[in-house]
Amino acid sequence: MKRWVQVVLILLGIAIFIYILWQSGPDGVAAVLAGDWRYLLLALLATGLAQMISGWRLQVALAAVTGLDDVAARRRWPWRATYHVTLTAQLMGMVVPRLLSTFGGKAAALKAYQTDLRESVPAVLLDNIFDILVMAPLMAPGFLFATGVLNVFGLYAGYGVILLLLLPLLSWRPAEAVWLPRLAYLERVPWLGSRMHMLLARLLIVWPPPAAGRRLLLLTVLLNGFLALRFYFIALALGLVTTATLFLALYPMAQLSLIIALAPGGLGVFDLSWLGLLSLAAVSGAEHFAVAQRIYVTVIN
């Protein structure tokens, strides 16, 4: 992407947030200042638990990529080290785009623990693949719930079915000797055939063994569940009438906007996504929440 396009998108994100702040008006600022501190403490607790799980997930990803067993991985990258790495990336994400803070921040922080790029980059890539792998399919039942098509039972049933369908994928271990003969007809396709060996080799490097994949799936569900609850507690602090189920439904869609946004911390795009999603679910005070979550999350982090 060209430099001027990146600058334009960042400025657009800032402009969107300023517009949301203007729409919220003095009442929005007053709502932020009057937030219930008890719910804000719960939001802080949910954030802390999520960051702890994030450090644990990175440790599992490093072990999967390097082929070390759990004991050796914990000795080389103790939990406090991976927690420090994820916290560093989280803080960087407040001032630089999410993709840059995630990959550059974690890879740079891992260098302090004698981890070169050949190990850190595949591990960070695997760590973030699971966010997309889990969040993307969960958007469908979440959207249907927000629009009233699904009830609570349908939402959780949809989530359960999707997670069960992911298990066979996690049991798949790509092997060049097995898959290349099955995909031999693709070698006749110009451009694609010459890249088949490279593609499968990269999958072998990144894709985890089945046991590690199941652990990464569980940790990803817990991580994003606590992050969704953080926003739910922020909504309660503002006095919004809502449920935890609604935020568990909306969070996957909001999280995707944070991943693709170029502005620092997803500024503007992430806030606008919450405004739109809560408005879609007919939650009053959505514009106040869009501003408050930005301020509260910045302070909590």
Domain spans of the chain? 35-172+207-300
Q: What is the mean pLDDT of residues 77-86?
A: 84
Q: Please state the φ and ψ torsions of residue 3, each to the nearest 5 degrees.
A: -60, -45
pLDDT tens figures, 175-212 = 544 555 555 555 566 655 555 555 555 555 567 888 88
Q: What is the mean pLDDT of residues 85-113?
A: 73
More confident residue, 259 or 151: 151
pTM score, two decimals?
0.80
pLDDT tens figures, 30-63 = 766 677 889 989 999 999 999 999 999 999 998 8
Q: What is the mean pLDDT of residues 15-24?
A: 66
Task: Transcribe 117-141 into DSSP letters.
Answer: HHHHHHHHHHHHHHHHHHHHHHHHH
Enumerate residues 6+ apart whose C-beta is below 8 A from 254. Answer: 231, 270, 273, 274, 277
pLDDT tens figures, 220-274 = 999 999 999 999 999 898 888 889 999 999 999 888 777 666 555 566 567 667 7
More confident residue, 80 or 149: 149
Whether residue 204 contacts residue 176, with contact meaning beta carbons closer than 8 Å, is answered with yes
pLDDT tens figures, 115-138 = 877 788 888 888 888 888 899 999
More confident residue, 279 or 98: 279
| pLDDT of 19 strictly over 80 | no
Enumerate residues 6+ apart whose C-beta is below 8 A from 287. Answer: 20, 23, 24, 28, 275
More confident residue, 60 or 298: 60
